[in-house]
Structure 1
Amino acid sequence: FWLFLGSLSILASILCLVIYWLIRDSQRVRNLNGKHVFITSCDTGLGNSLAKWLDKRGFCVIAACATEKGRIELQSCSSLSLKTVNLNLADSNSIARAVVFVTEETAGKGLFGLVSNTEETPPIAPTDWLRIEDFHSVLDVSLLGLIEITLKLLPLLKKAEGRVVNLINTKGLTAFVGGGYTLSKWGMEAFSDTLRIEMQHFGVKVSIVEHGFFKAGVVNSDVIEKYLLRLWNRLTPEIRDSYGEKYFVEYIKAQRSSVKRLCDSDISKVIKCMEHALIAKYPRTRYGAGWDAKFFWLFLSYAPSCLSDMLLRMIHLFHGRFVHGHVQQLLNFTSF
């Protein structure tokens, strides 16, 4: 009898905690109209979609674009309250100009939200194929650039008791490709966790949106192929011979096909997570957007290394069979 009562009390406690969490999670910030949100990498993909979404919700969106074309196209399909600014995250002078622009636009109100996101083409390849400048080309943008602009905007965020939302691909949870891409994602995870703890004193909330593969944010597979072919052809004969042509063909096949098969077409899953992180009174520390983020990459990050290594090798070998002919033709007839 007492065992039954003890079990019942535990279940009741768990139920109360779940109800409390649901009520707390559903509370929203009031008077969102006129609040300023700054978003990086809005030329295309997830940043572009979020800028349009928040613009319709009444936010004063400041969208940073890397290209003039992206800036003009975004402005043409948005309201007059959406402002754009050119931003090169690898250039400190460009970052400084963007910060001045945001400061002037907020006009003493402070910055309610900073959404950090990068969607550049990453040099993903075996580490032995890369040079130090290949790491710099990614880390200077996807890690150091985002950290620099966050640091320079912190006074505005503290003034508004705002929130920082860092959009991170779940490949940052598991290291299985060479290059600076995974390093940058791990770095942003660590930076976000540290910043969240430190900013609690100022009422600034920091959230991480860990998203899987979505069609809007995936680099074209042909671009990846051409990059890998260029890297392969610049290798010294000694390194190229140590891998062999068969290794190259299998590697490029896996990169080309595995991402496509994991892609989700419903980009709203990511948008809703970012929106909740901005408008919720008590935003979550982490959000998982996409089925692969919640069930595949998260599982791999906690699984024993021997199991995760085996699963990743199986995925590469399985997907590699589908595009052998195309890659072999590129290798035989194309030079870069």
Structure 2
Amino acid sequence: MDAPGGSLGWPWAGAAARALLPAALGLLCVPALGAAGALLVFSGTLLIFSAARPPAALPAAGRAVLITGSDTGIGHALAKYLDNMGFIVFAGVLNKDGPGAEELRRTCSQRLSLLHFCDIVMEIVMYLKWSPCLFSSGLWGVVNNAGILGFPADGELLPMSTYRHCMDVNFFGAVEVSKTFLPLLRKSQGRLVNMSSMAGGIPLPKYAAYGASKAALSMFSGVMRQELSKWGVKVAAVHPSGIQGTSELWDKQEKDLLENLPAAVRSDYGDDYLQELKSYLVRLPAHCDADLSPVLKDVLHALLARRPHGLYTPGKGAYLPLCIFCYFPVWFYDFFISKLFSAEPVPRVLRTAEAGNGNL
């Protein structure tokens, strides 16, 4: 990506052509290549145009951006990345004395300010009131990154507290932050970026609570994108392909799951099945790409491009499951996902039934 501040941008006609050409080519190839071949053509054309994405056109210097959930993970990396690009960064953290906050203090410039998440509204309003000399455009961007994964498990096993907690943090928290700062974003004609997830765009096993909360956030982003366009505010949703969590949170969620699980349900699934869920958590980080640069670059594009996309899907192969879900029959998508999760354990009752059928 070229340095921010250039004047390049796609003309409207060029942008429309780039958006429609992959779909048009895919549809034209259906009679000759079938649905699978057309999907490959569509995906390949899309990748070509994605690689040719124009450089961000707006300058970063003097633009203030609030990022929630900056203690670890994407939010932490994004705070450092945007600080390095020249933004004035308000990094919201849960623990101002934690290792993530200390690293931001040590490695970032004086432009970065740490804000305690519980007091984030009051603190940033005070910064805007008393430090107007720090930046010329008010608050330019809000990145709703704070979120929790919960305990990945079958939806039947998850306690209602997990569903409520995921919705409180991943959806209601982002909505509250957005509503609080939208008057400032309308004034600056700035950007609202919501960090959703691939699980928020397509159904994935074991992510009923997490996926539902992220799907709500994605829908909120889409509606806000339409409604705020008249104010000049651009809204984008980012769907990274890696789903991450922390072991401390998993331990607490596991305890809640086991304590609230009805005895009959626990018997049907079996304790060995529940143990396999914990093994799945241990293996989960191996499926997450450690390279966060595609996510960071997409957020930068959403913040600075003159015509940002409404949806970003960073990560290897992140767009393919979404295409299959959108353009293929549901049964084909379910078959595709079942093959991806083919190594999943089988509940005790179903294993017993299979064994009984095999003895007939």
Q: What CA distance in whole angstroms lies between the structure 2 residues aligned with 1:165 and 1:81?
A: 21
TM-score norm. by structure 2 comes to 0.73
Q: Does 1:304 align with 2:329?
A: yes
Q: In the TM superposition, what whole-angstrom CA distance separates every residue of 1:69-121 from its partner, at most 9, and x where no partner exists?
A: 13232112100111110104xxxxx3542453453366384211111112434
Partner of 2:3: none
Provide closer, same or farther for how the CA distance between residues 102 and 300 of structure 1 changes in structure 2, counting only shifts above 3 A: farther
Query: What is the TM-score when the length of structure 1 is the normalising length?
Result: 0.78
Work out which of the residue numbers 261, 266, 278 in structure 2 matches 1:240. 266
The one-letter code matched in structure 1 to 2:240 is H
What is the Cα deviation at residue 242 of structure 1?
2.4
1:184 and 2:208 aligned: no
Change in Cα spacing, 1:14 to 1:51, as seen in structure 2 (3 Å) is closer
Match of residue 72 from structure 1 = 102
For residues 334 and 69 of structure 2, the distance between their equivalents in structure 1, rounded to whole angstroms, comes to 32
Structure 1 gap segments, 5+ residues each: 1-12, 89-93, 322-336
Match of 2:307 among 249, 267, 282: 282
Counterpart for residue 122 of structure 1: 150
Percent identity for Structure 1 against Structure 2:
28
Query: 2: CA distance between counterparts of 1:59 and 1:134?
Result: 36
Tell me whether 306-315 or 101-110 shows the greater mean CA deviation. 101-110
Distance 1:105 1:195, change over 3 A: farther
Among 224, 245, 257, the residue aligned to 1:219: 245
Taking the aligned partners of 1:185 and 1:15, their CA distance within structure 2 comes to 28
Question: Hey, what does 1:194 align to over in structure 2?
Answer: 223
Q: Distance in 2 between matches of 1:133 and 1:115?
A: 26
* Deviating 4+ runs (over 6 angstroms): 13-16, 19-22
Q: Deviations over 1:233-257 (max 9, x none)?
A: 5423222112223433454444543
Cα displacement (A) at 1:42: 0.6
Partner of 2:292: 267
How much does 1:17 deviate?
3.0
Q: Is the CA contact (8 Å cut-off) linking 1:33 and 1:59 kept in structure 2? A: yes
Unaligned runs of 5+ in 2: 1-12, 22-48, 347-360
Higher mean Cα deviation, 74-83 or 225-234? 225-234
> Cα distance, 1:168 vs. partner?
1.4
Q: Match for residue 86 of structure 1?
A: 116
* CA distance in 2: counterparts of 1:221 and 1:317, whole angstroms: 25
C-alpha contact 2:236 2:308 (8 A) present in aligned 1:
yes
Give the root-mean-square deviation of aligned CA atoms.
3.3
One-letter code aligned to 1:267: L
Distance, in Å, in 2 between the alignment partners of 1:192 and 1:19 is: 20
1:152 and 2:180 are equivalent in the alignment: yes
Taking the aligned partners of 1:26 and 1:105, their CA distance within structure 2 comes to: 37
Distance change in 2, residues 1:256/1:307 (3 Å): farther
> Aligned residue pairs: how many?
300
